[in-house]
Amino acid sequence: MAKRSTRFAATGLALGAALSLLGTAGAAEAAPSGTSGYAATVQAHSNLRDAPRTNSRIWGTTTKVTEAGVACYTRGQRVTAGGYTTDVWYFGTVIDYDIGHIYSNVWMWGGNVNVGADPAPGIPGC
């Protein structure tokens, strides 16, 4: 009986370890900071565009505050919204978990990206 309990305990530990590894591997693959240099968030209802100007194509619109991986920034169209004005646009990847979509290689207006300053320290120019 002792051998049987030990065998079941070992099997349970191995299964638990395997499930733990699978759970962390899935989370690591979804992290935008793994694909871009700087982790940030983007405000809800932000348009994600194919160029750093408001008349460029919209690839998507965030449904809530969303994770982003920012690769670089550029100076584009100057935009004023919500009392904030900037011509800084960030380029990178946005993951919208609500709709299950990853937007790669998109431009985000600096006023919608929560990085603290435009341009944010440490983010290189494109």
Instruction: Write out pLDDT tens, residues 45-54.
Output: 999 999 999 9
pTM over 0.75: no
Domain limits, the chain: 1-30, 33-114
Average pLDDT across the chain, whole number: 78
Percent of the chain with pLDDT over 70: 71
Instruction: Please check whether residue 106 is in contact with residue 92, taking contact to mean a CB–CB distance below 8 angstroms.
Output: yes
pLDDT over threshold 70, residue 36: no
3-state SS of the chain: helix, strand, coil percent to 5?
30, 40, 30
Give 89's pLDDT tier (boundaries 50, 70, 90): very high
pLDDT at residue 17 in the model: 33
